[in-house]
Structure formats: C-alpha cells, structure tokens
C-alpha cells in the first residue's frame, strides 16, 4: 500500500481548516450572535440570527467544553472564505496526491446535507462514502474497487437528535435540490415514516441510528427530531461505530468538512456487519465488500503505526459479550489468509503497546 507524500497530507490539513472556516461563516454570519445556555447542568453554545421579521432564529452550535468551538466563538467575525483556492487544493490532492474524490452524486448529496447543518448537529457519515475519506485521513492510497457505491448512509445518535433542539431543513427539499426525482422510500414495516430516500436512477440515501434495546424494535423506524422529517432505522452495533467520530474532508468541489467513524472502529464494525449479511444475492456482494474494506484498513493501520488504536477498540468490542465475539470471529473467518494474518499481527502489536491482554478471534 503506497503512502501519500507528506506535502499532500499537509495540503489536506490546510484544506480542512479553510473549509471548516468557510462552513462556519456560512452557518454563523456576522450579523448574528452566540448565546450560552445551560441544559441539565452543562453549558452549550447556541447562535441567534435575525429572522427578518423582528425576531430571531436559534441554532445549536455545540458544547462549551469543545475548545475548537470556544475559539470559533471568539473569532467567527474574522473567518473568511477562499473558494477558488480550496478548489485548487482539492484538484491537486485528487489528481496529483493520490487521494480519492467521491462520485458526483455522492459528493453533491453530502455537500447539501453538510450545508443544511448535518455535521453541526452531530450526524456521522458512514458506509462506503466515509471509507473514501480514509485515504486522506490515514495518508495511504486505497484501491478504487473498494470504494465504489450507489448510496449514502448517515447516522445520528437518538439521544442527540432529541436533545439538540434544532433541526435540518426538510430532508426531501435538501435532496430534491440535488436531484428533483428524490422521493421517500416506503418503510418495510408499513410505517408512514421514512428512513430512506431514492432517486430515479436508484441512488439511495438512508438514515440510521443505534439500537441498544430489544431486537423487537429493529424493524420500526425511530423518529429523529433533528433530521428534518426523516426517521432512522435502529441497528445493533451502530453505537460502537459512531462513538468518538473524527473530522476530515470529503474531496468534492472545494472540499466538504465531514464527520466519519474512527477508522479502527469502522474496520471492526465491518467484520461484525459481514457476519450478519445473507449469503446470497446482493448480501453476498456486500459481505465481500465489507471484508475487503476491513482488510484494507488493517493494512493501512499497520502501515501508519496505529496498531494500538485498533487493539484498543477491538478489546472494547470483544468485552461487550458473546454476540459481539461471535460476530467478530465469523467476520474474521471470512478474511483472506494474508489479511487474517495481518489482522492477528496488528492486534498482537497493538496489545503490547497498550500493555493489555487480548483474546484473538481465530481458532488454534
């Protein structure tokens, strides 16, 4: 796996800062003001902006404990946009630096959701579109065959969706601004609520949330107050995936600041997901892709000296109990021999660095 030159990794960091500045300026223009609020004993920042009718509209910003937010509250009037320079950076990173750009539809969809406030409201981009971001995040070149997709998956924690007291604009309107043929997909449960939207070409945008309770509720869409009228399908194991996500860039147009799962969590989660796929039809193809992406991340994490990170989240998942262990074992058993050996090596290396014991998912 080839590494990406340091000069391009530095350019990506600069693009991320500029794009975050630009997004912040768009969300919080100079005529508004930041307002602190105490909720359940914790301090949060909100932003009040004139609504044009003598009143104000309030937006959720984030926790007052976040140092990045605190700095931006202090500096927001000085943030400036540099659209053309950022677009040149994106072109250089994708054409010369070996980093990955999404297909146009995926990029436009994520950009529209980001502009609507998805990541400000602590949404997380998951699935293959998120995997595309790991090339720049980890500084390695990932093969194009592992990143092709025809959908975009978005996750948000249910408690966060209820507590932020803010919402995206109507999801249907955001998606139809990209492609007028987007329509809600009837839910398989027969519920009137929709957790997925699809256009005339079959491109699908799906919203997901974690399910920590009984599987009896797995097929019932959860109402998500912050998602602009969209519901979300509860999925087991998703809380592990979206815990402690990371900021990075989707290399589309002038760059889109996004939030994605930690790559170590993504890799372990893919093993579990692969173990639960059906063995025929589309399920088989998706399972093969899950295993391939996990194997590529094990290689990238080893190459970039992140074995301790992988071992740490692996132990977290393993300690969650028998169902998790069985999922990891089954998924690991699907890995090609070379990937399985690398996975084993990285786990042992990482456990030594962490000074922890580790139980490997392979039989003797």
Answer for the pair 149, 42: CB distance below 8 angstroms, yes or no.
no
Strand partners, 153: 126, 206
Structure tokens at 185: 């997909």
Ranges of beta strands (E only) in the chain are: 33-39, 42-50, 56-63, 124-126, 151-155, 183-184, 196-198, 204-210, 222-223, 231-235, 246-250, 256-260
Residue 213: band (very low, low, confident or very high) from pLDDT cuts 50, 70, 90: low
Q: In this model, does residue 84 exceed pLDDT 90?
A: no
Distance CA 140, CA 160 (A): 33
**3-state secondary structure (DSSP) of residue 70:** helix
Crossing angle (nearest 10°) for helices 322-333 and 337-354: 140
Label the pairing between strands 204-210 and 231-235. Answer: parallel
Cα atoms found within 13 Å of the Cα of residue 319, Cβ hemisphere only: 9
Distance CA 265, CA 268 (A): 5
Give the pLDDT score at 227.
Answer: 95
Mean pLDDT of the chain: 89
Q: In this model, does residue 257 exceed pLDDT 60?
A: yes
Q: In this model, does residue 230 exceed pLDDT 60?
A: yes
Query: Which residues, 6+ apart, have CB-to-CB distance to 64 below 8 Å?
Result: 36, 42, 43, 44, 45, 70
Q: In this model, does residue 217 exceed pLDDT 70?
A: no
For the segment 324-338, the average pLDDT, to the nearest whole number, is 95
Alpha helix positions (H), 28-124 = 67-75, 83-95, 104-116
Range in 183-187, 198-202, 216-220 with the lowest mean pLDDT:
216-220
Label the pairing between strands 222-223 and 231-235. Answer: antiparallel
Cα atoms found within 13 Å of the Cα of residue 158, Cβ hemisphere only: 17
Question: What pLDDT, in 10s, does the model give residues 150-197?
Answer: 899 999 999 899 888 899 999 999 999 999 999 999 888 777 789 999
Q: In this model, does residue 364 exceed pLDDT 60?
A: no
Answer for the pair 242, 260: CB distance below 8 angstroms, yes or no.
no
């Amino acid at each position: 796996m080839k590494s990406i030159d340091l000069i391009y990794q530095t350019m990506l960091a600069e693009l991320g800062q500029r794009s975050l500045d630009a997004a912040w300026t768009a969300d919080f223009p100079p005529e508004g003001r930041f307002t602190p609020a105490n909720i359940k004993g914790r301090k949060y920042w909100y932003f009040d902006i004139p609504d044009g009718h003598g009143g104000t509209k309030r937006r959720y910003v984030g926790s007052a404990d976040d140092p990045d937010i605190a700095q931006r509250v202090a500096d927001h009037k000085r943030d400036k946009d540099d659209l053309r320079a950022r677009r040149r950076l994106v072109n250089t990173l994708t054409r010369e630096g070996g980093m990955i750009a999404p297909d146009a539809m995926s990029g436009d969809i994520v950009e529209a959701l980001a502009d609507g406030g998805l990541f400000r409201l602590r949404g997380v981009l998951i699935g293959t579109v998120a995997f595309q971001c790991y090339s720049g995040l980890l500084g390695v070149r990932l093969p194009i065959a592992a990143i092709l997709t025809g959908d975009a998956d978005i996750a948000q924690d249910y408690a966060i969706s209820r507590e932020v007291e803010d919402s995206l604009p109507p999801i249907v309107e955001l998606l139809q601004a990209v492609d007028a043929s987007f329509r809600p997909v009837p839910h398989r449960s027969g519920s009137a609520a929709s957790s997925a939207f699809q256009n005339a070409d079959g491109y699908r945008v799906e919203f997901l949330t974690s399910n920590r309770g009984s599987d009896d509720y797995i097929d019932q869409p959860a109402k998500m107050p912050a998602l602009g009228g969209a519901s979300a399908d509860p999925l087991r194991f998703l809380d592990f995936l979206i815990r402690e996500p990371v900021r990075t860039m989707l290399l589309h147009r002038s760059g889109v600041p996004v939030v994605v799962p930690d790559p170590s969590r993504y890799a372990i989660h893919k093993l579990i997901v692969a173990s639960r796929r059906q063995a025929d039809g589309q399920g088989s193809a998706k399972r093969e892709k899950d295993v391939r992406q996990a194997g590529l991340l094990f290689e990238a994490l080893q190459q970039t000296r992140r074995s301790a990170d992988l071992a740490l989240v692996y132990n977290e998942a393993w300690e969650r109990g028998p169902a998790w262990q069985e999922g990891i074992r089954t998924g690991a058993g699907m890995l090609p021999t070379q990937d399985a050996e690398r996975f084993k090596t990285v786990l042992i290396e990482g456990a030594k660095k962490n000074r922890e014991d580790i139980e490997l998912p392979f039989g003797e």
